[in-house]
Amino acid sequence: MNDKKRVLVVEDEKAIKLGLEENLKFAGYDVQTAEDGPEALRLGLTSHPDLILLDIMLPGMSGYDVCRKLRDGGAHMPIIMLTARQDEFDKLHGFEMGADDYVTKPFSVKELLARVRAVLMRGRERADEPHEYVFSDCRLDTESRILTRSGKALTLTRTEFELLAYFCRNAGKALSREVVMNDVWGTEYYGTQRSLDSFVSNLRSKIERDAHDPKHILTVHGVGYKFLL
Ligand code: CA
């Protein structure tokens, strides 16, 4: 049995693509490559790679759109975005489109491989956790990524979903805003705490009976949040 992890490298700059391909192969991964958005989308949806390295500026379709369409198409593998400094990568937008992490070009191969390992490891740890959480009239299934309330499916954005799943996994713990942002969005996320608060407020309006008197996502003053199942 071949238990090598398969990485799809999407990059239209040939030198970078080749460098990534060689280094990943050397590190023990199987590698597929694509050079444009539509091909990336096709391979991502049909060949089920374990991880995708996705450039943003691509011919045919941007990396953001590829990412969103993969998620819309039900693909849940981790995606690391490759960004050029001059792209002024919008991190929040990237995460909202479904990216798990990003690295800025030019990057060191060592750093990139560390990210690849970390993201794959995160996925494996999650496989051992319960995937269904029930609170009040809500039920969150983290495998099918569906939240139902009184039996009706509710629409969550990608970030809202990740945040709610994180709260469920860490129910009962007081969580600082820094820790939540770090764990949900990764170590290099520099979004404002206010953006976290606005995601929380959206989530409250979806899952709480009274968003102004929450029973599940509680505010811990001076700290952050505590989720109660
Ligand atoms: Ca490019």
Average pLDDT (140-166) is 89
Asked if pLDDT for residue 22 goes beyond 70, the answer is: yes
Contact 7, 50 (CB under 8 A): yes
Cβ < 5 A residues, ion ligand 1: 12, 55, 57
Ligand 1 centre distance from Cα of residue 10 (Å):
9
Ligand 1 centre distance from Cα of residue 160 (Å):
29
Q: How far apart are CA 59 and CA 101, in angstroms?
A: 22
Query: What CATH class is the domain 6-127?
Result: alpha beta
pLDDT in tens, 42-82: 999 999 899 999 999 999 999 999 999 998 888 888 999 99
Q: How far apart are CA 229 and CA 83, in angstroms?
A: 38
Cα dihedral 193, 198, 200, 204, rounded to 10, equals 160
Domain with CATH 1.10.10.10 in the chain: 132-227
Domain with CATH 3.40.50.2300 in the chain: 6-127
Ligand 1 centre distance from Cα of residue 57 (Å):
4
pLDDT in tens, 178-216: 889 888 876 555 567 778 898 999 999 999 999 999 999
Asked if pLDDT for residue 1 goes beyond 50, the answer is: no
Range of weakest confidence among 6-10, 12-16, 26-30, 176-180: 176-180
3-state DSSP helix/strand/coil % of the chain, to nearest 5: 45, 25, 35
Q: How far apart are CA 220 and CA 172, in angstroms?
A: 12
Range of weakest confidence among 92-96, 137-141, 149-153: 92-96
84 three-state secondary structure: strand
Give the per-residue pLDDT at 185.
74
Residue of 46 and 92 predicted with greater confidence: 46
Ligand 1 centre distance from Cα of residue 140 (Å):
37
User: What fold is seen in the domain 132-227?
Assistant: Arc Repressor Mutant, subunit A (1.10.10)
**Residue 192, phi then psi, degrees to nearest 5:** -80, 155
Average pLDDT (119-128) is 75
Ligand 1 centre distance from Cα of residue 83 (Å):
8
Contact 163, 177 (CB under 8 A): no
Give the per-residue pLDDT at 137.
93
Give the per-residue pLDDT at 181.
85
